Each structure stands twice: as C-alpha cells, then as structure tokens.
Amino acid sequence: MVVLAGGVLVAFALVQETKPGWWERLWYPLRYEHIVRGHARNYSLDPALLAAVIYQESKFKAGARSTSGAIGLMQLLPDTAKGIAVHTGGSAFRVEDLYDPEINVRYGAWYLRHLLQKYGDERTALAAYNAGQDNVDRWRRAGLGIQFSETRHYVDRVEELKQIYRDAYSKELGG
C-alpha cells in the first residue's frame, strides 16, 4: 500500500512538473470561449490575455461579485461599466447587465483595449485594470513602478495565466 501511495505521489509530482495540456485544462477551465474569442477579435486583444484576466478576476463565474461591488466575469465596477456603456453607444445601462457574460466581456474587453492604448504596454494596462487608472497615473508621474504588492502579484499572475491559456487552448482561442 505504501509503495502504491508513493508511486501515486511520484506520478502526481511528475504531472505537476510537466503540466501537460489536459492538466492545464483541468485546473484552468475556459468558459464562454466564443464570447472571449469574438470580443478579443473585436477589440484587437490577445484572446489568451482576455481569458487570463477573466480567470484571475472571476474564475469564469458569471455571477461573481466582490466585496468592493465589482460584478461578473471581468469584475467591473458599475460606475466604470456605465462609462463604458456611454463610450460604446449604450443608452440604457443597467447594473444587472453586468451578470450577462456577453455584455460583461464586451465592456471588459473595451476597457482593457482602452488601457492598452492609454498606457502603451500590457503590464501597465493590467496594473490599471487592477489598481485603477488614478493610482497608475500617480505612480507614473512620480517615476515609480507598481506600488501595491497585490497589484504586482496580479500583473505577474495574469501574465502567467496568459501563457497557460495560450498553450492549453490555442485551438479554441484561435492561436
């Protein structure tokens, strides 16, 4: 029995180390792939990046709501989403819309594209997505990098997840 348990542990460790595609798919699911792919295309985003942000924000749970009031797959704050709705031609924004995966990912993809255009690089855009544009603008004016350890971890994690989604779901995401 001990030998079997030891063998199972060795096998588990080997799978954990080599991370084959099926293992990554088990631990990092991809939901709403047609929505992710479509809005990534519409907003000229890397679909693996969009999937990574969604996973980090909500683990692909459309009904997610944070203690700060962020809602849905991409954890958008209602005020931010209302501004996005206005910028994208919407006139009848409702907070409940943020629970709709299609609307949430559309707004989140638009916002991510906006941040990428504003800051010109992915890491800074991701920092702004997490910590807010006001914080990132203040850091940049002071010539500083990311000042929140939580935000540094967020950016690093999203970059890691982007590679995982690119490797594990290249066919589904159009890579």
Residues with a known catalytic role: 57
Q: Rounded distance, CA 24 to CA 15, Å?
A: 10
For tokens 């849905």, name the residue.
Answer: 72
Paired with 76 in beta bridges are 71
Distances (CA, A) of 80 to 52, 136, 146: 20, 16, 21
Tell me the C-alpha distance between 61 and 139, whole Å. 32
CB 139 within 8 A of CB 146: yes
Estimate to the nearest angstrom the gap between the alpha carbon of 62 and the chain centroid.
13
The answer to whether the beta carbons of residues 97 and 128 sit under 8 Å apart is no
